[in-house]
């Protein structure tokens, strides 16, 4: 019998593969090869499952980025950004274009999903701003600097077909040339 976690992971895979229509209980049961009774053993209904799925999505994508940042544990912000760039091509990285596209599409039609997606975007940007705050002093510049790679990543997932991770890594490598070193004048206040 599938666990609650199995249901949620299958639901995330279904959203990535088929959008929100893939999250219908009968379709999930077919994917797992079980009856609806198994679903109701773990969830009070479709609304309960949707809330669990959205919470899992938020945790997954925010924690994946934060974990990648933590693994770069370095006092050199540019080195952290280099590490994030390299991490795009790793299995189970924070770059999940199919899930990103499907959740964003769902968010356009569903206010509850939109709220979660807004929170995800804010939390991811806060994480990236944490890196940039070690390079730049101006809060507006920090926000803009964090937005640039974030918007590139979102755009890369939205083009059809999504940009392959190795190509996106090359785009980010071009952007890395624009990142000041902590010892440069624009980052002097942070050195």
Cα 25 from Cα 46, distance rounded (Å)? 7
Confidence at residue 75, expressed as pLDDT on a 0 to 100 scale? 66
Q: Which domain holds residue 110?
A: 58-190
Are residue 13 and residue 88 in the same domain, yes or no? no
Cα 18 from Cα 20, distance rounded (Å)? 7
The domain tally of the chain equals 2
Confidence at residue 76, expressed as pLDDT on a 0 to 100 scale? 75
Q: Is the pLDDT of residue 190 over 60?
A: no
CATH code for the domain of 11: 1.10.10.60
Cα 111 from Cα 114, distance rounded (Å)? 5
25-76 pLDDT per residue, tens: 999 999 999 999 999 999 999 999 999 999 999 999 888 888 878 777 666 7
Predicted TM-score (pTM) of this structure: 0.85
Are residue 28 and residue 121 in the same domain, yes or no? no
Cα 110 from Cα 157, distance rounded (Å)? 20
Are residue 16 and residue 85 in the same domain, yes or no? no
Question: Residues near 6 by Cβ (< 8 Å), separated by ≥ 6?
Answer: 32
Are residue 129 and residue 165 in the same domain, yes or no? yes
60-118 pLDDT per residue, tens: 988 888 887 877 766 677 888 888 888 787 767 778 889 999 999 999 999 999 999 99
Are residue 6 and residue 85 in the same domain, yes or no? no
């Amino acid at each position: 019998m599938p666990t609650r976690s199995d249901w949620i992971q299958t639901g995330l895979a279904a959203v990535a593969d088929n959008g929100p229509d893939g999250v219908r209980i009968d379709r999930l049961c077919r994917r797992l090869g079980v009856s609806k009774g198994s679903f109701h053993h773990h969830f009070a209904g479709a609304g309960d499952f949707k809330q669990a799925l959205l919470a899992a999505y938020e945790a997954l994508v925010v924690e994946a980025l934060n974990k990648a940042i933590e693994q770069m544990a370095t006092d050199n912000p540019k080195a952290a950004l280099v590490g994030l760039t390299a991490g795009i091509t790793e299995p189970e990285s924070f770059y999940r274009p199919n899930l990103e596209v499907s959740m964003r599409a769902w968010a356009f039609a569903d206010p509850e999903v939109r709220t979660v997606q807004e929170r995800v975007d804010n939390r991811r940007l806060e994480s990236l701003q944490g890196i940039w705050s070690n390079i730049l002093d101006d809060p507006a510049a920090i926000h803009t600097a964090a937005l640039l790679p974030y918007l590139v990543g979102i755009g890369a997932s939205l083009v059809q077909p999504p940009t392959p991770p190795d190509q996106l890594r090359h785009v980010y490598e071009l952007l890395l040339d624009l990142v000041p070193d902590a010892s440069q004048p624009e980052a002097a206040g942070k050195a």
